[in-house]
Structure 1
Amino acid sequence: MRQNVRGTSPWETSVGYSRAVRVGNVVHVAGTTATVNGEVVGVGDPYEQTHVILGIIHNALKEAGAALEDVVRTRIFVTDISHWQEVGRAHGEVFGHIRPAATMVQVAALIDPQHLVEIEAEAIIS
């Protein structure tokens, strides 16, 4: 069984991907940025962008029948690693009690220069 979860990203159709895909009890959430209805939210604020992103991920997980507590892995991509504490603080506010395996790396750029953070998540529904 495969369930594709659609989001609001303007790139999903043109690039050919889903916000999340559930197969069996596993949910993979695509790289998610702070883009809501085509507009970047939290411009210049990595903490706010991280919170927006995690909210989008949370909604995608719910639509796929999962919860934040089911997340076992996150991958965090930042355009400036010096913002790691702000991004990490926002991540910790959501996942501090869940504590998924996590990675944070700096990348050269994201799809929009206003994006400071992009996050992927994987969940296993028990």
Structure 2
Amino acid sequence: MSRTTDTQPKPEVRFIQSGSRWEELAGYSRAVVDGEWIMVSGTIGQDFATGQFPPTADAQCELALDTIAAALAEAQSNLGDVVRVRVYVPDRADVIAVSQVLRRRFDPNRPANTTVCCALAVEGAKVELEVTARRRRDAPSTA
């Protein structure tokens, strides 16, 4: 029986940090790049430099998306490459405001979305987002 060997180079796995104290505490990366795929960890809308939260869920969603966009940019990607978003919101009353931010920031793309109403691990967080992106080879890398 003859064997064929895989001569294709294996993609490197790369780990991206954002400097969040939560990454250090829990031992995780903001994002992991594996070939064309980028998995971004759950991201809250906290100013990591000051530890402060904006007062509303939509403002926290904007800040979380800024953090996610920065991680994607480091991976030569952008929000337009996002194919799945998971949204965690403690207060059901905030779902519409968060959803409106997501619609605007992901427009014209519409990634798959799951929204869950549940408690979050970080006190003061009103939203947490987790995304998966797939880099398109023909797309420019802009945030």
In the superposition, the TM-score normalised over structure 1's length comes to 0.93
More strand by share: 1
Q: Percentage identity across aligned positions?
A: 33
What is the number of equivalent residue pairs in this alignment? 124
Equivalence for 1:123: 133
Instruction: Map Cα deviations across residues 55-110 of structure 1 (whole Å, 9 max, x no partner).
Output: 11000000011111110000000001121110011111101311100111101x21
Task: Identify unmatched segments of 5+ residues in structure 1.
Answer: none
For residues 1-126 of structure 1, the aligned pairs below 5 Å read 1-36=12-47, 37=49, 39-43=51-55, 45-107=56-118, 109-126=119-136
Kindly indicate whether the alpha-carbon contact (under 8 Å) linking 1:40 and 1:115 is maintained by their aligned counterparts in 2.
Answer: no
- State the Cα distance separating 1:8 from its structure 2 match: 2.4
Q: With a CA cutoff of 8 Å and minimum separation of 6, indicate the structure with the bigger relative contact order.
A: 1
Task: Identify unmatched segments of 5+ residues in structure 2.
Answer: 1-11, 137-143
Output the aligned Cα RMSD.
1.1
Q: Which has the larger radius of gyration?
A: 2
In the superposition, the TM-score normalised over structure 2's length comes to 0.83
SS at match of 2:110: coil
